[in-house]
């Protein structure tokens, strides 16, 4: 009786595992671990896809696979790239798969790069695949590249194993602008229909480095209206945008005292609290920005001794002015140069004034440049560091 | 214990090979010494170790001393039984008991009336004295045979705690218990099991602490055993388990008297078997297998931490290889990128699928372990060298297995040895293989299914009627204190719940020392 049940159970398990199991199995040896995907505009409206994948055998140490000693130019290449083009991304990737002896594995791909040309034409269609496909991660980072996107993949960073890894670590350091696939997707359908994507360049390699031994890095951002790129914002303006979006992380801010006459002061880390409040008065749409920012002195290039409260107040003033200038510059560029609501003011108005927003919705392109941004900034230098008076400056030169 | 006892062993089992007492054995002793001796000699025919010493009491009455050579202290028998009786010159009509009371200076003495009594006394190292014209004899307790000294139990060593372990001699073992628990409430009930071996088995419990229903159940189960011989307590264990097919042990076996006494004080029962140092304890829960006696001897902070380490490693030992197989062959996206790339690199030269690689390594490891246990100690070193070199390094260098797999197998092996109970480690190691197979065929889904099956099984399992997961399913605060942590002794004031009866206190209130 019990024996029969046991036999039944065992045969059920065997049927389950033997007849059905394993079809999803992918041994690591049968996978190509894709680290980054670059999408470029090809000829005849084609999409060119380039992947960067890990070469598992090139590491030193394990596995005496022999092989021709010393191969290439002395640099230990850990990645390779492969390219294919097609009508759309899926088509191109399926062609790419035909040129790869191993199955493409997207689970570890954390970098997607759009070429500038493709970004100008629109990225929405290509994004569809990245979100629809189960393997790519929602939290991977998206970039627009200056020039061709694929160029960023054929680099061999001196520090990281892959250029994709270098980009990922740079983004995760929280000092620059970054955007994940998920954020990109949600920003694309936001009320403002405008956003900025980190813009990457290839860092000029140092003289002694081997060819290609450098990394891509983020500098500035690509301004997108809808899913099309309309221009490039400088790093400074991008940071202004981060200020307004309360995205500002750990980074050093440097400003001049009284124009350029007195020398520069650098502060870090910055603790900033930024609050934006929309306000509609009659026909005037306004955004009130309240900034509360604090920082520690890192370098004092002026002759001011920060121990003096009056001088410190002066420094605070200069600090405050610098922050104001940054934000104003960004707002100015967004409103008048690009006419792209990269700050998502639209959503703020939509939330607070849903009725007015319903009426003005179609008119946002005209409305946005007229939105008045007022600022209320409180800036403080909290600590002067280990020393007080500027270091190495004769006492009589220090302004007390 | 509620009423969830299964039909008792004796009721459900038909005694198949029960050898009834033979006619000879049932016979009473008769008046004629010659007849009695002749009948004993007939039973013990061709037994060269049985000695019948005939002599005359006071030079008048014929008598005989029957014993097995090597089981009794011959010197004492000569000096305290034979010599005084031969020298006796008292009245002839004095019966044997009166005579012994006056003449024989052996304290352990009892009357025997049947041939069967004589045989059982003789085989237990008690010389039997028979006298002519008397239909009963006397058995004297003078057993003495070669025995192993009390040694430290090697399988259950502790850093802090008593260092003595049980031996093969039942009397020595019971004396060790009695030395620890001096109260007369500790009872030792003797049960003889085994048709030919006639092995003495002792059921130990503390009256008032052990549940009477549990005791009755234990007695019935023990008495229901019909077998030709008991050579080790393992025979008994398998005959009285609640679920004989489970991979999990439902009785705890231990070589340590202190562990037995701790169990007795908690209201459990113990079964001691002649001829083996391994005592059995029942009922137990899953957590009894994860507790070391030392947990209760060290201070409670280290004990708690070590206990948690043990829980974690018990789990690791169960699932790590299957998890590794599942992740490398189905869920590569779950591994951090940098780790995956180095795993891919080391797997690159390996020609086997991860499932096969894992099974290969695990089987090799089990073989090495078994070889290490079985081989003479002198060869053991050679095995470990070969094991470490061949499996550890050469296999990786030859590209047969990947280095991460070796690490996984090594960690798993160490984890399974971390369990204080060898038997629990084996149960978990056994279950590891089906899990590896499930992990290699159905991925994490398969592992989860396997774990659910194991948990279901554990939920159904009972040890002498007590649910195997009792302490965590009832969430009894007093029990949890001894599972989630090892509460300090002043807080462990209530005995664990083994049945449905109210728990009893084991400490006076407010035993926590004052904070000076």
SS3 sequence of B359-408: HHHHHHHHHHHHHHHHCCHHHHHHHHHHHHHHHHHHHHHCCCCCHHHHHH
Does the pLDDT value for residue B17 go beyond 80? no
Instruction: Please indicate, yes or no, whether residues B279 and B303 belong to a single structural domain of this protein.
Output: no
Please indicate if any CB of chain A lies within 8 Å of the CB of B403. yes
Q: What is the pLDDT of residues B319-366, one digit of tens each?
A: 999 999 999 999 888 888 888 888 888 888 888 889 999 999 899 888
Instruction: Please indicate, yes or no, whether residues B349 and B454 belong to a single structural domain of this protein.
Output: yes
Q: What residue of A is the nearest CA neighbor of B325?
A: A27
Rounded-to-integer distance, Cα A25 and Cα B494, Å: 52
pLDDT value at position A20?
60
> A362, A355 in Cβ contact below 8 A?
no
Whether residues A28 and B399 touch (CB distance < 8 A) is answered with no
> B128, B118 in Cβ contact below 8 A?
yes
**Which residues touch B93 (CB under 8 Å, ≥6 apart)?**
none
Question: A63, A104, A141, A166: which to substitute to probe chain B, counting the most B Cβ within 10 Å?
Answer: A63
Q: Which residue do the tokens 């121990």 mark?
A: A307
Please indicate if any CB of chain A lies within 8 Å of the CB of B350. yes
Calculate the average pLDDT of chain A.
86
pLDDT (average), residues B259-279: 94
Instruction: Please indicate, yes or no, whether residues B307 and B424 belong to a single structural domain of this protein.
Output: yes
Identify the domain boundary among A173, A206, A233: A233
Identify the domain boundary among B415, B445, B463: B463
Instruction: Please indicate, yes or no, whether residues A95 and A204 belong to a single structural domain of this protein.
Output: yes
**Which residues touch B201 (CB under 8 Å, ≥6 apart)?**
B190, B191, B192, B193, B222, B230, B236, B271, B272, B273, B274
The Cα diameter of chain B in Å comes to 102
Range 229-258 of B in CB contact (< 8 A) with A: 245
pLDDT (average), residues B125-147: 87
Q: What residue of B is the nearest CA neighbor of A3?
A: B245
Whether residues A108 and B337 touch (CB distance < 8 A) is answered with yes
Question: Quick check: is B154 in a domain?
Answer: no
Does the pLDDT value for residue B196 go beyond 70? yes
> B213, B1 in Cβ contact below 8 A?
yes
> A114, A143 in Cβ contact below 8 A?
yes
Instruction: Please indicate, yes or no, whether residues B272 and B303 belong to a single structural domain of this protein.
Output: no
Burial B380-392 (b: 16+ CB within 10 A, else e): eeebeeebeeebb
Which DSSP helix (H) or strand (E) runs through B281? Answer: strand B279-282
pLDDT value at position A398?
80
Instruction: Please indicate, yes or no, whether residues A219 and A281 belong to a single structural domain of this protein.
Output: no
Question: B325, B327, B333, B356: which to substitute to probe chain A, counting the most A Cβ within 10 Å?
Answer: B333
Which residue among A56, A105, A110 places its CB closest to the CB of B332?
A105
Question: Quick check: is B470 in a domain?
Answer: no
Q: Of A157-171, B7-21, B253-267, B372-386, which has the strongest mean pLDDT?
A: B253-267
Rounded-to-integer distance, Cα A326 and Cα A330, Å: 6
Does the pLDDT value for residue A18 go beyond 80? no
Instruction: Please indicate, yes or no, whether residues A77 and A218 belong to a single structural domain of this protein.
Output: yes
* pLDDT level of residue A50 (50, 70, 90 thresholds): very high
Q: B254 versus B379: which is more confidently predicted? A: B254
Instruction: Please indicate, yes or no, whether residues A78 and A210 belong to a single structural domain of this protein.
Output: yes
Domain containing residue A49: 28-58+73-233
* pLDDT level of residue B5 (50, 70, 90 thresholds): very low
Please indicate if any CB of chain A lies within 8 Å of the CB of B438. yes
Instruction: Please indicate, yes or no, whether residues B92 and B123 belong to a single structural domain of this protein.
Output: yes
pLDDT value at position B21?
64
pLDDT value at position A353?
92
Burial of B58 (0-12, 13-18, 19+ CB in 10 A): middle
pLDDT (average), residues B156-172: 91
Does the pLDDT value for residue B272 go beyond 70? yes
Instruction: Please indicate, yes or no, whether residues B255 and B194 belong to a single structural domain of this protein.
Output: yes
pLDDT value at position A9?
86
Q: How many CB atoms lie within 10 A of CB B96?
A: 21
A363: DSSP letter: G
pLDDT value at position B204?
96
Which DSSP helix (H) or strand (E) runs through A19? Answer: none
Q: B416 versus A260: which is more confidently predicted? A: B416
Instruction: Please indicate, yes or no, whether residues B88 and B200 belong to a single structural domain of this protein.
Output: no
Question: Quick check: is B513 in a domain?
Answer: no
The answer for A90, left when phi > 0, alpha when psi is -120 to 50, beta otherwise, is alpha
pLDDT value at position A76?
65
CATH number of the domain bearing residue A263: 3.30.300.210
CA distance A107 to chain B (A): 4
Question: Quick check: is B436 in a domain?
Answer: yes
Burial of B155 (0-12, 13-18, 19+ CB in 10 A): middle
Q: B408 versus B516: which is more confidently predicted? A: B408
Instruction: Please indicate, yes or no, whether residues A224 and A264 belong to a single structural domain of this protein.
Output: no
Instruction: Please indicate, yes or no, whether residues A219 and A166 belong to a single structural domain of this protein.
Output: yes
> What string of H, E and C letters represents the secondary structure of B323-357?
HHHHHHHCCHHHCCHHHHHHHHHHHCCCCCCHHHH
Domain count for chain B: 3
Question: Quick check: is B472 in a domain?
Answer: no
The separation between CA B304 and the C-alpha centre of its own chain, rounded to angstroms, equals 26
pLDDT (average), residues B21-32: 77
Q: What is the pLDDT of residues B404-449, one digit of tens each?
A: 999 999 899 888 888 888 888 888 989 999 999 999 888 899 999 9
Q: What residue of A is the nearest CA neighbor of B403?
A: A62
**Of A63-67, A148-152, A331-335, A389-393, which gets the smallest average pLDDT?**
A63-67
* pLDDT level of residue B498 (50, 70, 90 thresholds): confident
Q: What residue of A is the nearest CA neighbor of B442?
A: A21
Instruction: Please indicate, yes or no, whether residues A216 and A308 belong to a single structural domain of this protein.
Output: no
Q: B10 versus B99: which is more confidently predicted? A: B99
> A329, A239 in Cβ contact below 8 A?
no
pLDDT value at position B29?
85
pLDDT (average), residues A345-360: 90
Instruction: Please indicate, yes or no, whether residues A54 and A134 belong to a single structural domain of this protein.
Output: yes
Identify the domain boundary among A188, A204, A233: A233
Question: Quick check: is B314 in a domain?
Answer: yes
Rounded-to-integer distance, Cα B425 and Cα B141, Å: 42
**Quick one: what percent of chain B has pLDDT higher than 90?**
38
Q: How many CB atoms lie within 10 A of CB B33?
A: 20
Which residue among B338, B340, B442 places its CB closest to the CB of A17?
B442
Strands (E), A164-246: 194-202, 216-225, 228-233
Instruction: Please indicate, yes or no, whether residues B321 and B367 belong to a single structural domain of this protein.
Output: yes
Whether residues A27 and B403 touch (CB distance < 8 A) is answered with no
pLDDT (average), residues B472-500: 85
Smallest CA-to-CA distance from B325 within B351, B368, B359, B350 is with B359
Instruction: Please indicate, yes or no, whether residues A135 and A258 belong to a single structural domain of this protein.
Output: no
Q: How many CB atoms lie within 10 A of CB A233?
A: 24
Identify the domain boundary among A199, A233, A267: A233
Whether residues A25 and B438 touch (CB distance < 8 A) is answered with no
CA distance B343 to chain A (A): 8
Question: Quick check: is A3 in a domain?
Answer: no
Smallest CA-to-CA distance from B138 within B34, B56, B42, B67 is with B67
Whether residues B353 and A25 touch (CB distance < 8 A) is answered with yes
pLDDT value at position B349?
87
Domain count for chain A: 2
Rounded-to-integer distance, Cα A297 and Cα A388, Å: 10
* pLDDT level of residue B58 (50, 70, 90 thresholds): confident
Whether residues A137 and B446 touch (CB distance < 8 A) is answered with no
Question: Quick check: is B401 in a domain?
Answer: yes
Instruction: Please indicate, yes or no, whether residues A39 and A185 belong to a single structural domain of this protein.
Output: yes
Instruction: Please indicate, yes or no, whether residues A220 and A336 belong to a single structural domain of this protein.
Output: no
Instruction: Please indicate, yes or no, whether residues B120 and B263 belong to a single structural domain of this protein.
Output: no
Rounded-to-integer distance, Cα B497 and Cα B476, Å: 8
Instruction: Please indicate, yes or no, whether residues B316 and B425 belong to a single structural domain of this protein.
Output: yes
pLDDT value at position A1?
60
**Of A131-140, A187-196, B39-48, B501-510, which gets the smallest average pLDDT?**
B501-510
Bridge partners, B67 (sequence order): B51
Instruction: Please indicate, yes or no, whether residues A271 and A338 belong to a single structural domain of this protein.
Output: yes
Question: Quick check: is A242 in a domain?
Answer: no
pLDDT (average), residues A135-163: 91
**Which residues touch B510 (CB under 8 Å, ≥6 apart)?**
none
* pLDDT level of residue A19 (50, 70, 90 thresholds): low
pLDDT (average), residues B115-134: 87
CA distance B469 to chain A (A): 24
* pLDDT level of residue A21 (50, 70, 90 thresholds): low
Q: Token pair of B417, please? A: 């040895």
Question: Quick check: is A10 in a domain?
Answer: no
pLDDT value at position B132?
85
Question: Quick check: is B476 in a domain?
Answer: no
pLDDT (average), residues B138-163: 87
Domain containing residue B176: 170-284
Q: What residue of B is the nearest CA neighbor of A15?
A: B441
pLDDT (average), residues A306-332: 89
CA distance B402 to chain A (A): 9
Whether residues A17 and B347 touch (CB distance < 8 A) is answered with no
Instruction: Please indicate, yes or no, whether residues B100 and B200 belong to a single structural domain of this protein.
Output: no
Rounded-to-integer distance, Cα A342 and Cα A238, Å: 10
* pLDDT level of residue B273 (50, 70, 90 thresholds): very high
Residues in A closer than 8 angstroms to B333, CB to CB, are: 105, 107-108, 135, 137
Question: Quick check: is A170 in a domain?
Answer: yes
Instruction: Please indicate, yes or no, whether residues B217 and B90 belong to a single structural domain of this protein.
Output: no
Question: Quick check: is A246 in a domain?
Answer: no
CA distance A155 to chain B (A): 18
pLDDT (average), residues A59-82: 54
Residues in B closer than 8 angstroms to A24, CB to CB, are: 330, 443
């Amino acid at each position: 009786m019990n024996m029969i049940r046991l036999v039944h159970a065992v045969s059920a398990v065997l049927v389950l595992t033997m007849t059905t199991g394993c079809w999803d199995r992918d041994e690591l040896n049968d996978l190509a671990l894709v680290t980054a995907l670059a999408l470029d505009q090809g000829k005849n409206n084609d999409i060119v896809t380039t992947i960067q994948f890990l070469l598992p055998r090139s590491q030193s140490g394990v596995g005496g696979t022999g092989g021709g000693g010393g191969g290439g130019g002395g640099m230990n290449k850990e990645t390779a790239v492969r390219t294919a083009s097609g009508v759309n991304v899926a088509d191109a990737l399926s062609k790419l798969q035909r040129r790869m002896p191993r199955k493409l594995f997207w689970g570890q791909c954390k970098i997607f790069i759009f070429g500038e040309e493709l970004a100008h034409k629109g990225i929405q269609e290509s994004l569809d695949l990245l979100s629809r496909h189960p393997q790519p991660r929602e939290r991977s980072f998206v970039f627009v590249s200056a020039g061709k996107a694929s160029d960023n993949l054929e680099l061999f960073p001196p520090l990281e194993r892959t250029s994709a890894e270098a980009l990922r670590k740079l983004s995760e350091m929280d000092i620059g602008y970054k955007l994940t696939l998920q954020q990109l997707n949600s920003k694309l359908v936001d009320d403002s229909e405008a956003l900025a994507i980190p813009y990457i360049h290839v860092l000029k390699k140092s003289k002694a480095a081997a060819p290609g031994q450098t990394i891509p890095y983020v500098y500035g951002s690509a301004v997108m209206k809808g899913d099309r790129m309309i221009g490039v914002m400088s790093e400074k303006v991008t940071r202004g945008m981060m200020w307004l979006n309360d995205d500002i992380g750990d980074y050093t801010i440097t400003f001049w005292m009284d124009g350029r006459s007195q020398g520069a002061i650098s502060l870090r880390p910055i603790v900033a609290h930024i609050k934006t409040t929309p306000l509609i008065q009659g026909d005037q749409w306004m955004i009130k920005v309240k900034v509360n920012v604090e920082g520690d002195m890192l370098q004092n290039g002026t002759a001011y001794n920060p121990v003096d409260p009056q001088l410190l107040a002066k420094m605070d003033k200069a600090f405050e002015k610098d922050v104001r200038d940054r934000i104003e510059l960004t707002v100015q560029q967004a409103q008048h140069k690009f006419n792209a609501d990269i700050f998502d003011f639209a959503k703020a108005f939509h939330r607070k004034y849903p009725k007015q927003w319903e009426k003005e919705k179609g008119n946002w392109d005209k409305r946005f440049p007229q939105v008045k941004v007022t600022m209320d900034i409180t800036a403080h230098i909290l600590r002067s560091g280990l020393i007080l008076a500027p270091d190495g400056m004769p006492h009589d030169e220090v302004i007390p | 214990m509620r009423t969830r006892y299964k039909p008792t062993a004796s009721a459900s089992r038909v005694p198949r090979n029960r050898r009834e007492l033979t006619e000879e054995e049932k016979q009473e002793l008769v008046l004629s010494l010659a007849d009695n001796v002749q009948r004993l000699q007939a039973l013990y025919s061709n037994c060269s170790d049985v000695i019948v010493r005939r002599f005359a009491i006071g030079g008048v009455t014929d008598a005989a001393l029957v014993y097995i050579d090597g089981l009794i202290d011959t010197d004492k028998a000569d000096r305290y039984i034979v010599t005084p009786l031969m020298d006796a010159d008292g009245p002839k009509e004095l019966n044997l008991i009166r005579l012994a009371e006056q003449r024989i200076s052996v304290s352990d003495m009892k009357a025997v009336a049947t041939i069967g009594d004589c045989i059982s006394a003789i085989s237990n190292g008690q010389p039997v004295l028979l006298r002519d014209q008397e239909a009963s004899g006397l058995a004297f307790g003078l057993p003495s045979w070669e025995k192993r000294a009390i040694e430290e139990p090697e399988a259950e060593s502790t850093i802090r705690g008593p260092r003595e372990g049980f031996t093969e001699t039942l009397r020595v073992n019971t004396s060790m218990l009695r030395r620890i628990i001096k109260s007369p409430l500790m009872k030792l009930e003797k049960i003889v099991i085994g048709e030919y071996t006639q092995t003495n088995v002792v059921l130990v419990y503390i009256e008032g602490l052990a549940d009477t229903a549990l005791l009755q159940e234990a007695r019935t189960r023990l008495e229901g055993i019909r077998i030709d011989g008991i050579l080790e307590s393992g025979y008994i264990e398998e005959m009285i388990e609640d679920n004989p097919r489970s991979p999990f042990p439902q009785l705890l076996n231990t070589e340590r008297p202190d562990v037995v006494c701790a169990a007795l004080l908690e209201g459990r029962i113990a079964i001691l078997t002649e001829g083996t140092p391994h005592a059995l304890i029942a009922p137990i829960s899953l957590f009894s297998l994860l507790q070391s006696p030392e947990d209760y001897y060290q201070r409670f902070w280290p004990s708690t931490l070590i206990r948690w380490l043990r829980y974690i490693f018990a789990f690791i030992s169960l699932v790590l290889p299957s998890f590794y197989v599942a992740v490398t062959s189905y869920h590569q996206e779950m591994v951090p990128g940098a780790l995956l790339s180095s795993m891919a690199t080391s797997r690159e030269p390996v020609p086997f699928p991860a499932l096969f690689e894992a099974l290969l390594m695990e089987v090799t490891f089990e073989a090495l372990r078994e070889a290490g246990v079985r081989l003479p100690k002198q060869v053991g070193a050679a095995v470990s060298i070969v094991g470490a070199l061949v499996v550890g390094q050469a296999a990786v260098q030859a590209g047969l297995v990947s280095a991460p797999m070796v690490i996984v197998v090594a960690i798993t092996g160490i984890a399974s040895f971390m369990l204080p109970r060898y038997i629990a480690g084996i149960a978990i190691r056994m279950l590891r293989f089906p899990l590896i197979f499930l992990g290699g065929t159905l991925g994490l889904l398969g592992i989860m299914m396997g774990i659910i099956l194991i948990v279901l099984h554990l939920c159904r399992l009972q040890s002498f009627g007590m649910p195997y997961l009792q302490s965590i399913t009832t969430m009894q605060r007093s029990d949890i204190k001894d599972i989630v942590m090892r509460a300090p002794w002043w807080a462990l004031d209530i005995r664990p719940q083994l049945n449905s009866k109210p728990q009893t206190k084991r400490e006076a209130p407010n035993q926590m020392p004052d904070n000076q």
